[in-house]
Amino acid sequence: MAQAYMAETGNGGSEPEPRGSRLRRRVAELRRDPGIWRRGVVIAALAGLLALVMILHAELPNSVGNLGSLTETFLPWLGVFVPLLLAAAVVRKSATALIAILLTAVVWVNLFGGLVTDKSGTGGNLTVAAHNVDADNPDPRGTARSVAKAGADVLALTELKGSAVPAYEQALAGTYKYHAVEGTVGVWSKYPLSSGKPVDIRLGWTRAMRTTVETPQGQVAVFVAHLPSVRVKLNAGFTANQRDKSADALGAALAAEPLRKVILLGDLNGTMNDRSLSEVTSQMRSTQGAAGDGFGFSWPAPFPMARIDQIMVRGMKPEASWTLPQTGSDHLPVAARVTVTK
């Protein structure tokens, strides 16, 4: 009886096989499978194509529906396809596909891994914030009070509807002693403002301005801009030509700025990856990229997918960058803390 019992519980018995043995046996079976390298070629090809798009996105043409800019706007989201391809490779039991997907994952981490980590510090002597408040915002006063809670020393608002400006002025008067509005953009500041003027971004109406903020560390030039919106149309692709022209004009204004310390705040309707904003991004530093926690997506507010609301600096050090709670707008407010030296 004892021998019979031992026989039943041996290697061929009914007791469960140890996990380590089962794994080794499974690996051995896969190694003996001649199709492990032949299967999943299509999956591997898709992974390779995905990697090439991420590596060579700057080579994608803008001549056809601004395909390059469209891809660059949502470039980080290409990483979503990596786990999907990985699942398909596991189901297909394909070593070829697994290796290709691993290489694709390495490419994504190389491009965007630095944005995932928290790079914020504790320093800084000037806090700034920017918010596209939405012209159709149903609660201007509530939005103004919400953004003011961030404690920014300088606050920039864009897409200001003329009839709503008094509501913002009243709601922010207790926090900000100084403010200036030009067209649909404005600056509210705890420090004196001077030399405020519109900035021509080739639209025919005012959606950008420049002013000087007299900080304790000296004068800082503050630009506020709301570049034209872009659209994705089936028959025309990514329609961004007007935005691109305005970005070039804004870049020229920034290049002509005589002050060394410069801050750009606003809704640029484009990301730092978008080559069409290069006239701006080439001479300014993104606070989110330098000192942010995560990607800092700001639009659309219910499920942010892109960082199109920007805070950029020149001649000062970014210390921290973050998004603020949702307001009555379709954008999230963005804020940053920087160090301004005398």
Half-sphere exposure of 31 (CA within 13 A, CB side): 6
Candidate CATH numbers 3.40.50.720, 3.40.50.300, 3.60.10.10, 3.30.460.10; the one for domain 126-339: 3.60.10.10
Q: What digits encode the pLDDT tens for the residues 53-63? A: 999 999 998 87
> Which run of H or E residues covers position 276?
none
Environment class of residue 341 by beta-carbon count within 10 Å: exposed (0-12), middle (13-18) or buried (19+)? exposed
Tens digit of each residue's pLDDT, the chain (342 residues): 444 444 444 455 556 666 666 666 655 655 556 678 888 999 999 999 999 999 999 999 887 778 888 899 999 999 999 999 999 999 998 999 999 999 999 999 999 998 988 999 999 999 999 999 999 999 999 999 999 999 999 999 999 999 999 999 999 999 999 999 999 999 999 999 999 999 999 999 999 999 999 999 999 999 999 999 887 655 444 568 899 999 999 999 999 999 999 999 999 999 999 999 999 999 999 999 999 999 999 999 999 999 999 999 999 999 999 999 999 999 999 999 999 998
Distance CA 196, CA 222 (A): 9
* Closest to 267 in 3D by CA, of 325, 211, 332: 332
Q: Is the peptide bond before 300 cis (omega within 30 degrees of 0)?
A: yes
Q: What pLDDT, on the 0 to 100 scale, is given for residue 213?
A: 98
Q: Where are the chain's structural domains? A: 33-116, 126-339
Residue identified by tokens 């007007």 is 242
**Proportion of the chain in helix, strand, coil states, percent, rounded to 5:** 40, 25, 35
Rg of the chain in Å (alpha carbons): 27
pTM, entire model: 0.86
